[in-house]
Amino acid sequence: MTSTMHIRRDGIAYFFLIILCFLVILLFQHHYASNQNVDQTPIKPIIKITDKFRTHFNTHSSVWYREKCFRNKHADHLAIENLPKYLQNARASTNEACQKFVQKFDALFRLEEIYGALEISPIYLKKINAWLHNDEQLIEQIKKQRIIKIYNRYTHEEMLYNFMRSKRPQSKSEQSAQNYTLTLLEESKKNCDFCGKNYLNSTAEDSFGRLEHRLSYTAANTFKYDRWHTLIVSRNHDTLHLTEDEISDMFELSKEWFEKVYSIESKYTCPEMIWDAMPKSGASQMHTHLQVSLGFDIYYGNIERTRQGARFYAQMNDGRNYFNDYLHIHQALELTIPIGNVHILVHLTPIKDLEVMVLGASLEKDFYKALYLIFRTFIDDLQEYSFSFGMFLPPLNETSINGHVMPVVCRLVFRNPITNLRADMNGLDLYTSSVVGKDRYVLYRQLKQGILKRSK
Ligand SMILES: [Zn+2]
């Protein structure tokens, strides 16, 4: 009897103990929930549907944006250093289209305007005067330098633009860039492994054989960097003087090679290509050759960063296509040149001063024409003779009935000074941010002029 009462009393004690513990836990949780400094913003759901890429928008012209939003009457006066002013004017406008532009710009880019002051001793000022040819305006500018910093929030690319960087003293080479290039091209023809029929005995083939066109052929890279990696070799040795047909033929052959590999091993779906011209860009062979490869599931790191950035952008912006907004921002800022269905962009975050981008829904004749016009303008008008080029196409396993989410994107940077020992990129560009001294609008106007005169 006593033991039964004991058990009952213990049972009641345990019951109250459990209730007490439960209450303590509840109080504890409540305390933390009300005191923790946690971001309470609801997490946006992952949006599965992203808009498809398109090159034509039902929107105002760039002239309209310039006049109504940025309050600038003359296209010739547009300058990167005034970008903060254009944005400020657009922000102040009550027009809905101007407001939408600002929202898009702010969603994708971060823009900063920074001043850097210098104290210059009288002796050092004499030296600077000599570099700047006693230009008083420049000397005033060097004392209080203005830096425009543009950061892409999704690809994390950044441009630090300071006009004064283009005024740095340069060592001059005795040999002209043109003579150096022509000599190099002529000399390298003598024992070229890729010229004429030499390639039949001097290059390897892919496991499925060699693909041949009238103006180009494939040759497997002897020193592979991937499972599916080959060279697309033009039958024209001279990279700097390719016709539009020769350019077109190389890219058509690249597409054929991608399809061939995909038909053999369908898990390799991500097409990418690179092209380097002349030793300054790192090219080991002078003869015109592209390198194409197919990635398994993902692209190479730098391209994948853009792809993932674009996906994240869509998630954060109601499924809007990153590339559409990227193109639209540049169109509104008057930094694009349309060539049929594709657009050349003098984009806001280049890897170096002379980089341009080409965007299109597919790799087709307008793309080849755009590349041909870019080459001619840079080589013949701006006397730039060395370039590096990178391109990616949408994944091969993606349905294309209504277009793709990812467009074809090509980036192309001319490397200079070609005869100078000094490299064109340094620790800043490689490990921090791209430092640029040439105004994007100056390059845009040069490019546009070159393209217009050749399109007549
Ligand atoms: Zn050759």
Question: pLDDT tens digits, residue range 101-155?
Answer: 999 999 999 999 999 888 888 888 888 888 888 888 888 888 888 999 999 999 9
The alpha carbon of 90 and the centre of ligand 1 are apart by a number of angstroms equal to 53
Question: Does any domain span residue 56?
Answer: no
Structural domain containing residue 398: 177-420+427-455
Question: Does any domain span residue 350?
Answer: yes
pLDDT band of residue 55 (cuts 50, 70, 90) is: confident
Under a CB-based contact definition with an 8 Å cutoff, are residues 281 and 386 in contact? yes
Alpha helices in 190-318 (DSSP H): 199-202, 244-264, 301-316
The alpha carbon of 237 and the centre of ligand 1 are apart by a number of angstroms equal to 4
pLDDT > 60? residue 184: yes
pLDDT computed for residue 41 by the predictor = 54
Number of compact structural domains in the chain: 2
The residue-averaged pLDDT of 166-170 equals: 76
Q: Select the more confidently predicted residue: 445 or 429.
A: 445
Residues 196 and 157 in one domain: no
pLDDT digits (tens, 9 = 90+) for 238-282: 999 999 999 999 999 999 999 999 999 999 999 999 999 999 998
325 Cβ partners below 8 Å, 6+ apart?
Answer: 104, 107, 108, 313, 317
The alpha carbon of 196 and the centre of ligand 1 are apart by a number of angstroms equal to 8
Question: Does any domain span residue 12?
Answer: no
CATH number, domain at 371?
3.30.428.10
Look at residues 133, 167, 201 and tell me which one is the last residue of a structural domain. Answer: 167
The residue-averaged pLDDT of 158-176 equals: 82
Under a CB-based contact definition with an 8 Å cutoff, are residues 374 and 447 in contact? yes
Residues 193 and 219 in one domain: yes
The alpha carbon of 201 and the centre of ligand 1 are apart by a number of angstroms equal to 14
pLDDT computed for residue 36 by the predictor = 46
pLDDT computed for residue 1 by the predictor = 47
Distance in angstroms (rounded) separating the CA atoms of residues 289 and 298: 24
Task: Give the distance, in angstroms, between the CA of residue 228 and the centroid of all CA atoms in the same chain.
Answer: 24
Residues 436 and 351 in one domain: yes
The alpha carbon of 233 and the centre of ligand 1 are apart by a number of angstroms equal to 9
Mean pLDDT of the chain: 89
Question: Does any domain span residue 6?
Answer: no
Under a CB-based contact definition with an 8 Å cutoff, are residues 406 and 307 in contact? yes
Look at residues 167, 198, 227 and tell me which one is the last residue of a structural domain. Answer: 167
Residues 184 and 309 in one domain: yes
The alpha carbon of 199 and the centre of ligand 1 are apart by a number of angstroms equal to 9
Question: Does any domain span residue 450?
Answer: yes
Residues 278 and 334 in one domain: yes
The residue-averaged pLDDT of 383-391 equals: 96
The alpha carbon of 259 and the centre of ligand 1 are apart by a number of angstroms equal to 27
Hey, what amino acid is at 315? Q
Question: Does any domain span residue 385?
Answer: yes
Question: Does any domain span residue 32?
Answer: no
Residues 299 and 413 in one domain: yes
Under a CB-based contact definition with an 8 Å cutoff, are residues 356 and 388 in contact? no
The residue-averaged pLDDT of 205-214 equals: 95
